Chain A
Amino acid sequence: MENPTATKPSMLPVVEMATRLMEKNLGSGLWDAQVREPDVLWFRIDRQMLRTATVVLLKELKARFLISAGTDLRAQEKGYGILHLFSLDREGVFLALDCLVPEWEERIDSITPLIPGADWSERECRDAVGVEARGHPDPRRLILPDDWPEGAFPLRRDFPYNERPPAAEGVRPAPKEHPEGTTVIPIGPFFPSLEEPSNWRIFLEGETVKGCDYRGFYNHRGIEKLGDSVLTWDRIPYVAERICGICGFIHSTCYCQAAEKAAGLQPPRRAEFIRTLMLELERIHSHLLWLGIAGHIVGFDTVLMQTWRIREPVMWLSEEISGNRKTYGMNAVGGVRRDIRPEQMPKIQDVVRKVEEEVLALKKAIVGDTTLLARTRGVGILTEQWAKEICVVGPPARASGVPIDARLDHPYAAYDAVPPTLCTQEEGDTWARVLVRVDEVVDATRIIRECLDQMPAGPVMSVMEGEFPDGRVGVSVVEAPRGEAIHFVMTGGLNRPYRWRVRAPTYPNLQAMPAMIQDQQLADVPIILGSLDPCFSCTERMEAVDRRTGARRVYSWEELETMARRAAEERGAPS
């Protein structure tokens, strides 16, 4: 078997060119450049040179910003590691800018003035690790609750995962001032057409939107913190799967791939095909779910009811394959835990064929609906330029003519053998986003059929020899239905990641909202937001908030288990 950690020969020219460019522009500011496991070109740079380096990546290399990760490295290097990840989509290479911020300084230059899409990443870094971004245009709190005390940084190593600091007194939220002459309409924290809490304050002039303010992150579950403090490398896939209730398999695949890259483990080919198949099944049911909700938001409940009827057999099929409608529990580092049996194959073919037929019929019906067109065409336009600057991913990016798709740019699992079709539109409006998703459902049915045809025989799991290695990194991207999900794993002994960074696709996409609703009608705000297919709880999986408002009763694990058993016994189920 080929060494999975080896750098692909096709990467070498771009690696060489990028390194030369950085040397030329940074001089002695470039401390080190090396290719790490196996497709990350890693630059250690002087923190003073961060903006220069960022400009080089953006302007000369046309790199796309992915995400930042702050790491507490005080024990090893007396400072905080600030990592900015970029992607070269054409070449399939990740670029990392790694700076060390000394313990006593706790600040670094902000790159948000250069990349508007880095806004949230840097605020999150400040909240969680305590490294401030100097020159950030909007340095308000992002992820921490308003009554979280100053100076308590949940992702620092000396902050225990179960720590519950006392609430700060006399604090208030810091909402943005609304422009003069506008009225404020709140959408959320709880709002009928948003399935999850998020608070948008819409500034209105008449019914025209003149700006907005976002406060979210009400759903923190401290998942990243758990990953680097409590869990071990092999348990994380099951927690990762619970990041999202719709695209859980995407997150478990993404984590497993990052861990496999870090550990140098190659999953068997059959496992990669099974992952591909499950990922595409998830895309089908997620897009159909979205199409239904989008219909519901504009009051078109017939679309909601019919798409969900089409979707249901896919859920039954997932249950037949994995034992669960959702949250399959199939992924493990090294492969998958369940094989697809030969007798299941015709069933999968049948379901997929039926879905394709019905989706094509549905497409015909909605394309001819002039009222639907009136509500979606030209509504919530995201220009190509904005999509690139805010680093939007997935269907919203493709609907604005940005040709990115992680399945093609950084092929993973079996997508090298069954490549997807790039579905793009140019208009960037809500209708374009509808079309992209409908086309992707149809394409997913083709990918599943090709997967079944080409799936090789063999084992489905590679076993890791020895411990989870130390001092390695792994970057993995997976094209979720909502866009590109990123998992970054940095190992550090103790059989667990030292840092596990997750970025769900809604994280960048939601940042495009203010640009998309500017000067639109209030009536269109819900469908514009809906057209991003936002998934708030995926976006908000960070840091350790465990405080319960109200009852303040905290159940221990044992208590919960006893309660669950008692309930089961009362229902007469065998425990």
Chain B
Amino acid sequence: MNTSVLSSLGMVLLNVALALLLSPLVEGILRKLKAAIHSRQGPPIWQPYLDLLKLLGKEDLRTSADPFYRAAPALGLASVLLLATLVPMGSAPPLGFAGDIVVLIYVAAMSAVILILVAYGSGSPYAFVGGSREMMVLLTVEPVVAVTLLVGAMKAGTLATGQILAWHAGNGPTISMILAGIALFLAVQAQAGKLPFDIPEADQEIMGGPLVEQSGPRLALLRWTLWAKQLVFAFLLVEIFVPWPRTGWVLPDLLLALVKVMVVLVLVALVDVVNPRLRVEQAMGYYFRVAISSLAALAFAVIGM
């Protein structure tokens, strides 16, 4: 009993540490990649850590005295860390329980909702526009995430993320899971806030949108949230939809997953670098079509394929 509590506490810490400490490094690698395609040298790989340190050391300025507004960036990061404990990283999710996938779907949307609240609370018209765009993107991307995870649940016949993973690793690919995996991969592009879907931030149009009034430690936490979120979503994608090969040992499985995560994020970064930004209604149209195809995956799952 005692050892099992300790070991799951260890796994929780491992997942949180991965999301927290590894995400800036991943971001740094992606920046370097982007620079190479730009014919630039680019910043050092550890630059995101330096950015965070610098911002965390700055004065904390707020445009609103509201206590929720004050706590929002920390809550945003916390929500992504909570998500990390519900996502498998090399092993079953440490905080997994029967039905945890429903919670996962809710928690996955939390950081975006918090960002929207930050936007509306900051009192800037640019943030307001950014917040409403974030909302529109969320409303079209979130159903895709939910439906693709439901496909997994339906195939495995369980609502526990760890069991879906075990089922998929054991039974091999099916049409419905491949389709759902592709749909979730397309959703990661928007979840990571990458082009052509960085519409809520859109520096050149609305000056960072929800982030326009954020600076110092608040900006650091919000950036960190976004970086951690892209890493956790990539884990979710590769662990549930590409779980092979599986050794059963935590460390080798984790390393394998990390390699797959990097492949996914490099693809995401490549799409980012060869695309301009879409308008929000174009992005919604795009994800509407993705949602339709994820429903097709669900239909295949229903007929057992």
Contacts and interface: CB of A to CB of B under 8 A. Distances in A.
A303 B204 CA distance: 15
B244 to A, nearest CB: 33
Interface in B181-219: 195-196, 198-199, 202-207
Contacts of A304: 38
A299 B204 contact: yes
Contacts, number: 79
A298 B39 CA distance: 19
B160 to A, nearest CB: 39
B156 interface: no
B272 to A, nearest CB: 9
Given A299-B198, A302-B38, A522-B129, A193 B280 contact: no
A188 to B, nearest CB: 11
A302 B274 contact: yes
A5 interface: no
Contacts of B277: 298-300, 375, 523
Interface string B31-70: 0000001111000000000000000000000000000000
B39 A306 contact: yes
A185 B209 CA distance: 13
Contacts of B279: 374-375, 521, 523-524
Interface-central residue, B195, B205, B206, by most chain A CB under 10 Å: B205
B276 A371 contact: yes
Contacts of B198: 299
Contacts of A300: 195, 275-277
Contacts of B203: 192-193, 299
Contacts of A303: 276
Nearest to B40: A305
Given A183-B125, A299-B195, A522 B205 contact: yes
Contact of B207 (A191, A309, A521, A523): A191
A96 to B, nearest CB: 42
B204 A369 contact: no
B278 interface: yes
Contacts of B205: 193, 522-523, 525-526
Interface-central residue, B37, B195, B206, B275, by most chain A CB under 10 Å: B275
Interface in A175-192: 183-186, 191-192
Given A183-B125, A207-B280, A524-B279, A301 B38 contact: yes
Nearest to A303: B276
Nearest to B274: A302
B7 interface: no
B39 A297 contact: no
B275 A309 contact: no
A372 interface: yes
A306 to B, nearest CB: 7
A301 B198 CA distance: 13
A295 interface: yes
A193 B204 contact: yes
A304 B195 CA distance: 15
Given A185-B125, A191-B207, A372 B276 contact: yes
23 contacts: A207-B129, A295-B276, A296-B204, A299-B195, A300-B195, A301-B273, A303-B276, A306-B38, A369-B274, A369-B275, A371-B275, A371-B278, A372-B275, A372-B276, A374-B282, A375-B278, A375-B279, A521-B279, A522-B129, A522-B206, A523-B199, A523-B277, A523-B279
**The 4 nearest A-B residue pairs measured at CB:** A299-B277, A305-B38, A300-B276, A298-B276
Given A191-B207, A299-B202, A523-B205, 9 more contacts: A299-B195, A299-B203, A300-B277, A302-B273, A303-B276, A305-B39, A371-B196, A371-B278, A525-B205
